[in-house]
Structure 1
Amino acid sequence: ALMSVGFKLSADALRTLSGLSESTVLGTAAPTLAAVRGMTGDHVEHNVYFKDFPANVPDTFEFWMRCVREALEDGKARSGVLAQLRNGVINLLTLPSYGNYRHTYEEMLAAHDELTAAVGDRLTVLHLGGTLEDELSALYLALAGSSTPLGDEHLADLKVLAEHCADGPQPETIPVRENRAVVNEARLKAGSGLLLDTVTDVLRLACALSGGDVSLQEPTRFRGLSRPARRALLAGLDEVVARAPAKIADVLTHREAFKRLGERLHPHEHPQWPYAAEVFAVARGEKKAHSFDSRVEALLGADDVSGAVLLLKSAPGKLFRALDRLLRTARTQEERDAVVAAVEEVAPEVSGRVVLSVREYLHNRSGDTDRKRVFINRAGRAHVTDDARQAVPEQERERLITVLDAETARRLPAPERLLVDPDVLGVALPLSGRATSAGLGVLPRGSVSPVDGELLRFFVYWKQARKVTDYDLSALLLNAEYETVSWLSYTNLRSMDGEHSGDITDAPDGASEFINLRLGAVRGTYIVPQVNIYSGEGFEEAEESFFGFMLREGEQKGRPFEARTVRMKSELRGPGRVALPLAFRRARDGSWHARWLHLYLKGHPAYNRVEGNQVSVATLVRAVVEREQLTVGHLAALMANSGTEVTTWDPESVPDVPVTYIGLERPEGLHPESVVITPENLRDLIPE
């Protein structure tokens, strides 16, 4: 049953289950099968408009004319269609046979042969876990102590786990502020001490207690808080400012939020916490506070680079984030040397995530004349513009890269032996958990992974919640200069490159669309699948929506959707009206690779089509594809240069001693004390 959807049990798991009673095995099987089917998208019925897809897909114009003829033969629709014909324009959505399934799911299945097994079919191994409490505790410690921000899904998981594990083992440090806010909420409810060292930590906690955004990107409507909660927040603010009075200036960054919070906390009623009252006095403008950033701005405005560097050394993270400006502002070699020297001095105090982020930034900050800047926010919305900034001096750029690499290498673990799956070397380091999405086989934005197969098939599924919703799956084909070669969509159902499964315009019970591409016949260098919202609910409003792709051999048959051939399935849950999950690029040797995007375009409120966003999509894809990411391969090279024995993984030669393994999936046969790094815990590679 597992293998029918592309999974299998490890030898240990099979051996353990074999020793259990039949009822226990069945009790384990039911939720396990449901879980893995949901991971691949096999938990729903994927029907297609054209029953024989990818065979017998008609020419688009012929298909539309057929729909018109059928409408003219329909007594109810005939008069309306004739009226449209007299005006010279036909609305496809008014034709009875357009946009709705014309056959049942069972009839579609009967039209397809069974899937022929192939060596390339995906087979994901399921391993034994520990006890429930051990697994919960380990996951909590990993999420709470993560050195990189978590995505929304993992942050929601942390919220549940933090309440369950409030009285259990705790991570030594919680470096990410959003994580700390979630943990503090659980600690407050459990009566434990709070982890606060800035006034912003208190604001984030208040947002968590009100069900708001702990990242502070979106405004929170503060709820009425209980008396114990109000007292805890006021006491926390008082303690932070009493311990470090200069931190009161942080209020200015979120002045309006602090004003609204003060209306809920009533600090004037609690004279025992005078420093907390000062926080809200600063927010209201009744007390002056000079922020750290304003002092830096004053020095740079006066062209005092040396003074700014001296001040920024007291805030190493801010120094790193200001490097580009400092180097461009510096007028003398002495000032540039001072910047590099300051970085060398404070680098050990900067988080590993910031060190790597700045290293990646500097790598892409070369002196090329035709440079683009791409801005991607936390929600996956992107903007591209020309880079008109002065170039960073090349000598200092290279010196800083050397410094940052040395600092990263110093912090990396030094296992005696490191086994690496070659396919993981192109995976981008997850410097933010928001650079990816939930799903199966999903990699961080910017990752590159090989694509092996003759047929590439995209799929999208959506189920509307309240109103008629029409999603359109499309694929844009670009040449090496990012110019449009062709596309497949509901307006172009068939070409020499592939086929579209047909347009579905209403999904009360769920709907699917597919695009089938023969990679050897594809014209162009890039394939960019996209999901356009033509009308109805957004990705975050629909009851369910996800995208994925399958790979098949040329002779494989099977249904339009076969779970065993699914390589990737990700949730569509971002803002905007156009989703760009990933792009595919043909190399000079003819091989194909996927480049992960996880992007959303704003689009139009309705009627988004691939024809209308060709230029914006091509510009965005070019900016992302041509930006080089720091990858697992970069860290593996640093460890190798530091003396670690790095070996390519060979399933035929599994060592019988503990090793550190990095790969796309956990293999069988490793020593039980081995450290295993896969995409699900790739953040563990980022040094603190």
Structure 2
Amino acid sequence: MVHRLDPLVVRHTHRVPAPGGPAGDGAVAARQFDAALMSAGFKLSTELLEHLSGLAASRVVGTAQRTLRTVREMVGDHVRHNVYFVDFPANVPDTYDFWTRCVAQALADDATRAGTLQQLSTGVVNLLTLPSYGHYQHTWAEMLAHHDELIAAAGDRMTLLHLGGTPEDELSALYLALAASRTPLGEDGLRDLRDLAGHCADGPQPEEIPVRENRAVINLARLTAGHDPLLDTVTDVLRLACAVAGGDVTLQEPTRLRTLPRPVRRTLLAGLDAVVAAAPAKLADVPAHREMWKRLGERLHPHEYPRWPHAADVFAVARGEKTARSLDGRVEELLADGDLTAAVALLRTAPGKLFRSLDRLLRSARTPDERAAVVAAAEQVAPDVSGRVVLSVREHLHNRARETGARRVFVNRRGRAQTADDTRRPVPAPERERLITALDAELRRRLPAAGHLLIDPDALDVALPLSGRATAAGLGVLPRGSLSPVEGELLRFFVYWKQTGRSTDYDLSALLLDARYTTVTWLSYTNLREKEGAHSGDVTDAPEGASEFIDLRLGAVRGTYIVPQVNIYAGEGFEEAEESFFGFMLREGERKGRPFEPRTVRMKSELRGPGRVALPLAFLRGSDGRWRAKWLHLYLRGEPSANRVEGNRVTVATLLRGLVEREQLTVRYLAGLMTDDATTVTLWDGGTVPAGPVTYIGLERPDGLHPRSRVVTPENLRDLIPA
């Protein structure tokens, strides 16, 4: 059981649970393990190598097999990446020459000649009907024979794996870290938390579970293990019912509730009754999910349990037989009546709602006294607002200083994005600045003393993860809005997908824009070759998996922005496919190697969004000529089929402009708040680390840090968010 969950520890922490077993001479096996890892861009830390060397060789081999499977999947090296053009990136033909060649081959084939001639007579030929188009013309092994071995370079990615504690200790620590996260987890994080919660149900539990979705997942594990669920709102019960049904605990997507066993019905009704009995005002939360409550009532049969009358009140409110006015509704009535003072007084009882309403309240105020009252109320309740909300409002107020006429970007919980004109009136500058000062002071008060702060400069522009849904599962992935340096001459994108049941065609493309967000050119299956680079060729079916690549020479790029995207031309969506992921590699000069080389991969992220067009990230050329990655993690609705880069150029450019012009709160901002007269700050240059304990913030944990150091990397960046 423990070995089954070990990959979660490696993926989330880059630590290998310390294998037990008899001592022995495992040095040779450990060195072989290290060498195998290096081929995938990973390496054992000094401490981990020493530990493994002291174990029996059989234990080292078992650990190596499990870990290698995990890291190869993390980087995308667990599948075979073939290319349509066997010599890619060399010898990629001109698009129209290639299409003409495919037509000629179809005319030479007795089986397809007549149909092709018929199409030619109409002036239009469907490429998908040509036998040589869209399918690999060679095997993976034949493709490898056309490429020389990659020569190792100093710039290759090398991700360290560190020594962890015992498997049980590591699983418990990871469970507690995810369960107590102050920011919502993404779908993959929730899935991992579900597995860990089941394993750790009888072990140590977090003192606090701030995120309600996490609580629902943990409550399901507690219910399964025979423990009472943790319920303090009526919505906790609804989320738990959705978890039991295997549905969406965020309540954003409809869940098909099923018939529940009688013990589960009793547990849910008893919990619901206790919540309402302790605080009848919580019935006001019911109307927000009225239809879901009605459907749950049909499964719980509350009329069969008269001993829980308060639970029955919940369903009476859902059916409209009993009234429960929500705080939001009462606030709306007061604002509609022009009574801002009373609305602010009411919102003070819900500090989080007051903070989320600050922009509107300040714009609604008609006099300086009313605006001052809004600011004063925010200052008074600030200590009771979660750190995540304080940071979100701080970021919002900073961006409200922009001139009117800008574009607003809306991104929902699942990464679906759209834009609109910003027609709001400005937030008055004096009140905005006063609030920013107050929020900075509140955040500074909450942050722990850093002592010796050791910072990787490349991490300074990483956006704070105010939501785990603003990122994606994978390797080297940063939160939406982050900027990270791009060092290398050759930039290569890749996408891999494997269909589940029906023919599926994903198209990798790259849109190049100038400084005014106007199209310069693009690379895709309709434009295989440009002076900037080349496309590996269109693959239109993936029963055994398929890959596409785009190679770009950064020095030759005309323009300021590069926007890679994955368009679904036909078939299964990103969430339907058996597997789908995107990534990019960096190489120097004229280096050889296969189209996919794992140790050159800088980022690999899962594609699991709701739209038909994926925008994982963009690349920006700064005024200094250097390129940086801007992380997006966005999905566009797109069309049901035949999505192409040519068709969404305007939408992508508009969306990119809105995101580039918006400024996120970053590690740089929070590190500034953590710095005081008692703090020593060192920018780490990649050399020797300090001998004593430090607070380290960086993209990867260095080897040799003091064991009492506090370490923050992208894998646990959420730990920077204050309570």
TM over 0.5: yes
SS in 2 for 1:254: helix
Structure 1 residue 151 corresponds to structure 2 residue 195: no
> What residue is the counterpart of 1:660 in the other structure?
695
Q: Does structure 1 residue 136 correspond to structure 2 residue 154?
A: no
CA distance in 2, matches of 1:382, 1:687: 28
d(CA) in 2 for partners of 1:463, 1:272: 53
Tell me by how many angstroms 1:367 deviates. Answer: 4.4
**Counterpart-to-counterpart distance in 2, 1:166 and 1:685:** 27
Q: Does 1:311 align with 2:351?
A: no
Is the 2:404–2:426 contact (alpha carbons within 8 Å) kept by the matching residues of 1? no
Q: Does 1:332 align with 2:367?
A: yes
1 CA distance for matches of 2:231 and 2:131?
62
1:630-670 residue CA offsets vs partner (Å, 9 max, x unmatched) = 11111001111474322211443421111111111111010
Distance 2:175 2:101 in 1: 58
* Alignment counterpart, residue 676 of structure 1, candidates 711, 717, 723: 711
2:575 touches 2:610 (CA, 8 Å); kept in 1? Answer: yes
Q: 2:661 aligns with which of 626, 642, 655?
A: 626
SS for the counterpart of 2:138 is coil
- Please name the residue that 1:525 is paired with: 560
> 2:74: which partner in 1?
39
State whether structure 2 residue 586 is matched by structure 1 residue 551. Answer: yes
Contact in 2 for aligned 1:636/1:646 (Cα 8 Å)? no
Question: Deviation at 1:97?
Answer: 1.1
Any conservation in 2 of the 1:583–1:597 contact (CA below 8 Å)? yes
Q: Structure 1 CA distance, aligned partners of 2:98 and 2:156?
A: 34
Q: Distance in 1 between matches of 2:241 and 2:271?
A: 11
- For structure 1, the residue ranges without an aligned partner over 5 or more in a row are none
Q: 1:552-610: per-residue Cα shift (whole Å, max 9, x none)?
A: 00121111110110000011111111110000000111100000001111111111111
Q: Which residue of 2 aligns with 1:234?
A: 269
Query: 1:35 and 1:653 mapped to 2: Cα distance?
Result: 29
Identify the match of residue 679 of structure 2 among 644, 650, 662: 644
- Map 1:33-112; keep pairs closer than 5 Å: 33-112=68-147
Given that residues 367 and 394 in structure 1 are in contact (C-alpha distance below 8 angstroms), is that contact kept between their aligned partners in structure 2? no
TM-score (norm 2): 0.94
Q: Does 1:351 align with 2:386?
A: yes
Q: Report the alpha carbon displacement of residue 333 of structure 1 after superposing the two structures with TM.
A: 0.7
Q: Which residue does 1:387 correspond to in 2? A: 422
Aligned to 2:569: 534
1:374 is aligned to 409
The aligned amino acid for 2:37 is L
Indicate if the aligned counterparts of 1:57 and 1:493 stay in contact, CA closer than 8 A. yes
Correspondence for 2:154: 119
Three-state SS of the structure 2 residue aligned to 1:504 is coil
Structure 1 residue aligned with 2:242:
207
Of residues 518, 523, 539, the one that matches 1:504 is 539
- Give the match for residue 324 of structure 2: 289
What does the per-residue CA deviation read over 1:266-315, in whole Å, with 9 as the maximum and x for residues that have no partner? Answer: 11221211111111111111111111111101111111111111110000
What is the Cα deviation at residue 119 of structure 1? 1.2
Post-superposition CA distance 1:172-228 (Å, at most 9, x none): 110111111111122222232332211111111111111111111112221211222
In structure 2, what is the Cα distance between the partners aligned to 1:141 and 1:264?
33
Q: Report if aligned partners of 1:367, 1:392 keep a CA contact under 8 Å in 2.
A: no
Q: What runs of 5+ residues in structure 2 fail to find an aligned partner?
A: 1-35
Among 581, 586, 603, the alignment partner of 1:568 is: 603
Inter-partner Cα distance in structure 1 for 2:498 and 2:219? 36
1:409–1:642 Cα contact (<8 Å) kept: no
Could you tell me how far apart the structure 1 residues matched to 2:227 and 2:679 are? 42
State whether residues 486 and 629 of structure 2, in contact with CA within 8 Å, keep that contact through their aligned partners in structure 1: yes
Structure 2 CA distance for aligned equivalents of residues 90 and 189 of structure 1: 59
Report what 2:46 is aligned to.
11
Residue 479 in structure 1 maps to residue 518 in structure 2? no
Where does residue 278 of structure 2 map in the other structure?
Answer: 243
2:230 pairs, out of 190, 195, 202, with 195
| Residue identity opposite 1:167 in structure 2 | D
> Equivalences for 1:449-468 in 2 at 5 Å?
449-468=484-503
Counterpart residue identity of residue 400, structure 2: R
Distance apart, 1:467 and its partner CA: 1.1
TM-superposed deviation, 1:170:
1.1
Q: Is the 8 A contact 2:405 2:423 kept in 1?
A: no
- Aligned residue among 208, 218, 225 for 2:253: 218
Matched, 1:429 2:464: yes
Distance 1:549 1:367 in 2: 33
* Alignment equivalent of 1:179, drawn from 214, 230, 234: 214
1:118 touches 1:556 (CA, 8 Å); kept in 2? no
Indicate the RMSD between aligned Cα atoms, in angstroms. 1.1
1:406 pairs, out of 432, 441, 451, with 441
* Structure 1 counterpart of 2:290, one-letter code: R
- The alignment status of 1:592 with 2:592, answered yes or no, reads no
Distance in 1 (alpha carbons) for counterparts of 2:576 and 2:392: 33
Output the CA distance in 2 between the equivalents of 1:544 and 1:278.
45
CA contact (8 A) 1:162 1:182 kept: yes
Give the match's secondary structure for 1:167: coil
Mapped to 1, the partners of 2:688 and 2:142 lie a distance apart of: 48
Question: For structure 1, which segment, 141-150 or 164-173, has the greater mean C-alpha deviation from structure 2 after superposition?
Answer: 164-173
Deviations 1:88-118 (A, max 9, x none): 1111111111111111111111111111221
Q: Does 1:20 align with 2:20?
A: no
Work out the number of aligned pairs and report it.
688
